[in-house]
């Protein structure tokens, strides 16, 4: 296994000294010592960016794979399906645009986004009704 060339440390103040005592020395390119090792500061931020990320829901790899497959299928349908010259090519037809109106590309994206917003609005209205 190759040793990492970068690690992330999160510092917090201790009873002996506040972080303000080291803040003037936190500069990109400065050397830092941890134990017997030396390293170079390549990035710094104020606040803890690591802990909130760790508290988020862990990545579900199976869900990620499904989403990637869905995205691949959608991009193919959106951008390439009609150019296959096959009689078995799926297409998206818009009833509101009249019979036979095929939607592709940005037009398809906009129609889908509009439909999702419309259905979401309808669901919210229905949930508010007694």
pLDDT digits (tens, 9 = 90+) for 73-92: 888 888 877 777 766 677 77
CA–CA separation, 43 and 29 (whole Å): 9
Alpha helices in 9-104 (DSSP H): 50-55, 61-79
User: For 29-75, how does the pLDDT look when each residue is reduced to its tens digit (9 = 90+)?
Assistant: 999 888 899 999 888 888 877 777 667 766 678 888 889 998 988 88
Map out the domains of the chain as residue ranges: 1-56, 57-128
What is the C-alpha R_g of the chain?
Answer: 27
CA distances from 66 to 60, 63, 75, 112, 116 (A): 10, 5, 14, 20, 20
Look up residue 66 and give its DSSP letter.
Answer: H
Q: How many percent of the chain have pLDDT more than 90?
A: 3
């Amino acid at each position: 296994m190759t040793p990492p060339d970068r690690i992330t440390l999160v510092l917090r103040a201790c009873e002996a000294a506040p972080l303000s005592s080291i803040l003037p020395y936190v500069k990109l390119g400065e050397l830092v010592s941890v134990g017997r090792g030396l390293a170079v500061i390549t990035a710094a931020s104020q606040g803890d960016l690591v802990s909130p990320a760790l508290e988020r829901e862990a990545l579900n790899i199976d869900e990620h794979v499904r989403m990637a497959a869905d995205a691949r299928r959608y991009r193919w349908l959106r951008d390439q399906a009609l150019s296959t010259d096959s009689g078995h090519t799926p297409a998206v037809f818009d009833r509101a645009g009249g019979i036979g109106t095929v939607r592709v590309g940005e037009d398809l994206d906009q129609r889908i986004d509009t439909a999702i917003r419309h259905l979401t609005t309808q669901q919210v209205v229905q949930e508010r009704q007694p």
